[in-house]
Amino acid sequence: MSTAWLSLGSNIDAERNIASARQALAHDYPGARFSPVYRSVAVGFTGDDFINLVAAIDTELGPLRLKAALTALEDAHRRDRSAPRWSSRTLDVDILLYDDLWMVSPELEIPREEITGMAHVLKPLADLAPDLRHPVTGCTIAELWTGFSGARDGIEPIDWPPTG
C-alpha cells in the first residue's frame, strides 16, 4: 500500500465539483484525508477564483494507473482537455507526491514542481502533512512553507462545506 498526495482545484462550478470529487475520493480510497480548503486567484490567466485543497489517499495502484484513475475522475466532471493548459477548469487533480518516489517520465513527474512554486498547492499540503519530507529537497513540507518566497496573498482559507 502506498500513500499518494493529490492536489484538487476547480474554478467552474467549483463548490459542486470539489464536493463531488472529495466524495468520490473518499468512496474509492477509504480513509482519504483532506486539507482545509482555500480560495485562490487564477494563475497564468484571467479567470474566476479557484477552490483548492490537498488529499492524501492510500492506494494499491501504481503511479501511472493512479494517474489514469484520476484522469477518469476529471473526465467524469467534464474536464475539457482541448482547453489551454492555463485556463478555467471543472476539475484538476494532480499527483503531488507518491510515497518518497522521484519519477520523471513523459506521462508523469513526481514530485510535482508546483509543490515548491505555488502557494495554493504548498499551503494545503503543509496543513495536511507538515512533517512529510519532500523527496528531492529533503525539507519537511512545513519548512518549505516557512521558506516560501512566492506570493501568499492570492489564497485565503474558506469554510468547508460551504454554507448558505
CA pair distance 132, 38, nearest whole angstrom: 20
- Which of 145 and 83 is assigned the larger pLDDT? 145
Look at the block and give the residue holding cell 463531488.
Answer: 20
pLDDT at 93 over 60: yes
Any idea what the CATH number is for the domain that residue 6 is in?
3.30.70.560
Question: For residue 50, is it within any domain?
Answer: yes
Please tell me the pTM assigned to this model: 0.91
Query: Is 164 contained in some domain?
Result: no
Domain range for 104 is 2-158
Q: Which residue has the higher pLDDT, 79 or 55?
A: 55
Torsion angles phi and psi, residue 135, rounded to 5: -70, -15
* Number of domains comprising the chain: 1
Using alpha carbons, select from 86, 95, 91 the residue that is nearest to residue 76: 91
Residue 163 lies in a domain: no
Pairing of strands 37-40, 50-59: antiparallel
Tell me the average pLDDT of the chain.
90
Q: Is residue 14 part of a domain?
A: yes
Q: Evaluate if residue 120 carries a pLDDT over 80.
A: yes
Residue 37 in any domain: the answer is: yes
Instruction: Give the DSSP H/E element, type plus range, for residue 97.
Output: strand 92-98
